């Protein structure tokens, strides 16, 4: 119907804005870039491309504060007013999480990047696990089964260090993907990266963020917080 087609058009527009902002940031950011500069770059570019209007701020714009998490910080960190400056180092592993919304229809997407090839194996494992989750997501899919598929792919990989150590990769259990509703980034359902049991299913018409988190050698839990 018309409402459904309008929703799809809004999501496609937001997805294209997100793609362009992501490419812009990847071209600009280098070691030595200050984190606040990255966050401002993301939010200014998003506002410009999506057509943010100061007089009507809820119509379209960036969907939530930009997340910038480095290294052992898995997610949900950012730069705040008054924080001391932080600059990217060549060996940092960066998780950049930002969203775009068009009339409340939210695109929530994150990507990781680094300037050091020592992180490549971990990043590849997480990317393949995310792709596996997307392949198995859909109407009537059991959330627990999707999470189990994610874990199976994630934990089949290893990280080989130059010093000869082989580190197992763990799928982090207490950070999750989630369902999304208009103007609600977390709409009540979670998607863990492990099988959890239970009968929660994805339903036709729902929008989901498939978010996966991996840890090389550290363990399968984050020590503070949870949720996607």
Distance of CA 188 to the CA centre of its chain: 17
Q: What is the pLDDT of residues 108-138, one digit of tens each?
A: 999 999 999 999 999 999 999 999 999 999 9
Number of CB atoms found within 10 A of residue 66's CB = 21
Q: What is the pLDDT of residues 153-189, one digit of tens each?
A: 999 999 999 899 999 999 999 899 999 999 999 999 9
Q: Which of 60, 64, 58, 119 is nearest to 90 (CA)?
A: 119
Q: How confident is the model at residue 193 (pLDDT cuts 50, 70, 90)?
A: very high
- Mean pLDDT over 137-164 rounds to 96
CATH classification of 118-228, choosing from 3.30.590.20, 3.90.230.10, 3.30.365.10, 2.40.37.10? 3.90.230.10
Rounded to 5 degrees, φ, ψ at 152 are -60, -45
Question: How far apart (Å, rounded) are the C-alpha atoms in residues 59 and 10?
Answer: 11
Question: How far apart (Å, rounded) are the C-alpha atoms in residues 31 and 14?
Answer: 29
Say yes or no: domain 1-115 is CATH 1.10.260.40: no
Q: How confident is the model at residue 198 (pLDDT cuts 50, 70, 90)?
A: confident
Long-range CB contacts (< 8 A, 24+ apart) of 152-157? 153/125, 153/128, 153/129, 154/125, 154/126, 154/128, 154/129, 154/193, 154/212, 154/214, 157/121, 157/124, 157/125, 157/128
Hey, where are the domains in the chain?
1-115, 118-228
Examine domains 1-115 and 118-228 and report if their fold is the same.
yes
Number of CB atoms found within 10 A of residue 9's CB = 13
**According to the model, what pLDDT value does residue 217 have?**
77
Burial of 3: CB neighbours in 10 Å, binned 0-12, 13-18, 19+: exposed
CA distances from 39 to 67, 75, 99, 193, 211 (A): 8, 15, 12, 27, 20
Look at residue 226 and tell me whether its pLDDT is greater than 80: no
Strand partners for 148? none
């Amino acid at each position: 119907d018309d409402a459904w087609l309008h929703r799809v058009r809004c999501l496609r527009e937001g997805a294209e804005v997100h793609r362009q902002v992501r490419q812009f940031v990847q071209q600009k950011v280098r070691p030595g870039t200050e984190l606040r500069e990255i966050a401002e770059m993301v939010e200014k570019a998003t506002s410009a491309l999506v057509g943010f209007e100061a007089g009507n701020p809820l119509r379209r714009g960036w969907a939530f504060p930009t997340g910038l998490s480095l290294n052992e910080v898995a997610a949900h960190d950012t730069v705040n007013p008054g924080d001391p400056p932080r600059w990217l180092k060549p060996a940092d592993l960066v998780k950049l999480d930002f969203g775009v919304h068009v009339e409340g229809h939210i695109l929530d997407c994150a990507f990781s990047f680094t300037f050091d090839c020592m992180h490549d194996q971990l990043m590849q494992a997480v990317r393949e696990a995310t792709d596996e989750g997307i392949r198995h997501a859909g109407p009537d899919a059991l959330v627990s089964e999707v999470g189990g598929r994610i874990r199976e792919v994630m934990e089949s990989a290893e990280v080989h260090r130059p010093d000869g150590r082989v580190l197992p990769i763990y799928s982090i259990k207490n950070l999750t993907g989630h369902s999304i509703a208009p103007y609600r980034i977390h709409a009540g359902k979670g998607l863990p990266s492990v099988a959890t049991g239970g009968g929660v299913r994805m339903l036709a018409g729902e929008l989901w963020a498939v978010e996966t988190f991996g840890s090389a050698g550290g363990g399968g839990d984050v020590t503070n917080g949870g949720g996607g």
